Amino acid sequence: MASISLRNVVKRYGTGSKAVAVIHGVNAEIAHGEFIVIVGPSGCGKSTLLRMVAGLEEITGGEIAINDRVVNHVEPSERDIAMVFQNYALYPHMSVFDNMAYGLKIAKVPMDEIKARVDKAARILEIGPFMQRKPRELSGGQRQRVAMGRAIVRQPQVFLFDEPLSNLDAKLRAQTRLEIQKLHRELGITSLFVTHDQVEAMTLAQRMIVMNAGVMEQFGTPEEVYTRPATTFVAGFIGSPPMNLLKNAPDAQSGTITGVRPEHFDITPTGWALTVEAVEMLGAERLVYGRWSHSQSDELVIIRTDESHAVPALGATLHVTPRADRIHHFDAATGRRLPTP
C-alpha cells in the first residue's frame, strides 16, 4: 500500500501566451489503502490527473509523491502502479492466463510464482474456468475482470482505474462495482478510480474528488459531498436528480442561491405553489416537475415523493414546503457555500 500526495499539481499544454491550462493547482493527501474516486463531467481533467499520477502525462507544475517519493520525473514502469483502462487493452492472440501473466514474464518472475499469482487473482475474480480462452470468447464483463486480474498479479502499491466500467451495460456495471468493492476489501491497495458517473462515485468512494474545468471543487466522503456540497457545481452534479438551485426563493438574501434536494420537500396544505408539468413514475418513488411562478421569477422545481402520495394531475397546483434544516445557501457570484444562517 502507498500514500499519494498531490501538491499544487498543474497541467498546461503549449508554452508562453498560447499555453492552455487544463489542471489548476490540485491539492490532495490520499492515505494508505484509501479508495478515491475522481468524478466530473467530460473534459473536466479527471483522466489527465490520473495519467499524471501514472506518469503517462508530464506535469507542468507542483509535485506528485507516492509514499513520500516525488515521482515527477520517474518513469511509469518505476512507479509501482498498475492501471486498468476503459478498453481493457488485452492481447487478442493470447489466452486469459497469458494476458494476466505477460507482465510478470517480462519482469522475469519465476514461473511457479507467476502461476501462483495468476491462480490467486483468478480465484478472487472468479474467472478460473476461462483461463485458456481468448478475449474474443469472453463477455465484456469477463474481459474487464481479466484486465483487473492482470493488474492484481503485479502486486502494485497503487491501482489506477480509468473509467473501467463505461463499456458495460447497466446490470454488468452494478455487478462489477460490487466486485471492485470486494477486491479492495481483500487487497487493501490504494486506488484512484476515474468516472463521469456520479452513482459509481457515490457507491465506490471512501472519499471523492469532484472536478470541474480542471479545478478540484470538493474533496470529501460521499456523505459530506452530498449533504454539504461546497459549490453550486457540486450541488448540481452530485445527486440524481440534482439539487434544486433557486435564485429567488422566499426569504433569501440578495445575491444568494437557495438549494433544496428533491427529497427534502414536504407536500403541505399551503406553501410554494407549483404547477405540475410532468411526473416520472419510478416504482416505489416518483419525481414531480413543477413550475414555480411568482413575482420575481419563473423556476422549475423537482420534488421526489414516495408511493404513499397520490399522483398529481398534470396542470394541477401542488403546495410544497422545504424542510428548514435541509436548505442550502450559496453565493450567487462565486457559487461557494455560505454558512447556515
pLDDT, one tens digit per residue, over 97-125 is 999 999 899 889 999 999 999 998 898 88
C-alpha cell recorded at residue 238:
452530485
Contact 176, 169 (CB under 8 A): no
State yes or no: pLDDT of 83 exceeds 80.
yes
User: Nearest to residue 320, comparing CAs of 332, 337, 304?
Assistant: 304
User: Nearest to residue 266, comparing CAs of 328, 311, 320, 306?
Assistant: 320
Cα 41 to Cα 44, 73, 136, 234, 248, distances in angstroms: 6, 29, 31, 11, 27
What is the rounded distance in angstroms from the CA atom of residue 275 to the CA atom of residue 278?
A: 9
The SS3 call for residue 218 is strand
What is the rounded distance in angstroms from the CA atom of residue 26 to the CA atom of residue 163?
A: 20
- Please report the domains of the chain, with CATH numbers, ordered by start residue: 4-234 (3.40.50.300), 241-331 (2.40.50.140)
What is the rounded distance in angstroms from the CA atom of residue 237 to the CA atom of residue 66?
A: 30
State yes or no: pLDDT of 179 exceeds 90.
no
pLDDT for 64: 97
pLDDT digit string (tens) for 215-247? 999 999 999 999 999 999 999 999 989 999 998
Contact 328, 259 (CB under 8 A): yes
